[in-house]
Amino acid sequence: MKIRLVLIVVLLIAVVSSAGLLNNPENRFKLELDYEIGFTGVIFHTIQFGQTGTVLNYVKDGGQDVLFPYQRYTAGLSIGKHTVYFLYQPLTVQSKVQLKNDLIVDGVTFPAGSGILLNYGFPFYRISYTYDVLRKGNSYLALGLSLQLRNADIYFDSLDGTKFVDNKNVGPVPIIKVKGAYWLNEKVYLATDIDGFYASSSFINGADFDFEGSVLDASLRAGLLLTDYLETYFNVRFIGGTAKGTSENSDSPDGFTDNKLATINFSIGFQLK
């Protein structure tokens, strides 16, 4: 139902844009709308809550060795060489497994042989600004900054209903952005879009506890111009990151977290402009 609704909205916008109402050539403003759909494969994923907690390998022992649905929504507004983007990236993976070994999370033990629901929710919102440092025709290279808002919801729920541990976190993440496209001819192009950073929170936001983290969201796209207002493309994207440290504000007994994630995403997409 959700995918059907998105497709209906895309078709309605396409009708509007074909009528010349989405982007008037005489206007300074240019609007772009992107929608991607495909699948996610988890390359590597481990997590640990609590210094004495288990290092859980989600791929080997947590049911993340299969493919998961993938979607991505982006809107961009350009004024000359300046562009502002707004992104919403759903990223929630659920799996049910029978534990091979005891799993200790924040001091709570889920015994070997028991069934458990694992929810890893890490969707994020991102606003970005870029400036075209090079442009020739439709080809360009742009540099800028992004501010990402993470919205983590990670929990462990025993299937018999006796044990439950969750870890929730919301916070801003500053990121460096590089974006570019090279048109091979009037119809076909290659493009890249990279957001990434590595920093300690004491440097970024003055936190008084040890913490370090990284984010990398990098894609390579091959696109085709279908009409003056509609493009389609195939996209390969890496999304990954790390977070390690001890927070005094955590709900866990000692506040320690160590989270490492790497995913590869394959999608087809459509851009209205």
- Cα–Cα separations (whole angstroms), residue 77 to 133, 145, 271: 17, 15, 13
Q: Does 17 fall in a domain?
A: no
pLDDT in tens, 8-49: 555 555 555 544 545 666 677 889 999 999 999 999 999 999
pTM of the model: 0.86
The one-letter code for the residue type at 172 is P
Encoded amino acid at 218, one letter: A
The total number of structural domains in the chain stands at 1
User: Is residue 209 included in any domain, yes or no?
Assistant: yes
pLDDT attached to residue 19 = 45
Longest dimension (CA), the chain: 66
Dist. CA 250–CA 252, nearest whole Å? 5
Confirm whether 13 is domain-assigned.
no
CATH of the domain at 99: 2.40.128
Task: Quote the domain boundaries for residue 92.
Answer: 34-272
Which of 108, 120, 115 has its CA nearest to residue 57?
Answer: 120
pLDDT tens digits, residue range 200-257? 755 554 445 567 889 999 999 999 999 888 999 999 999 999 988 877 655 567 778 8
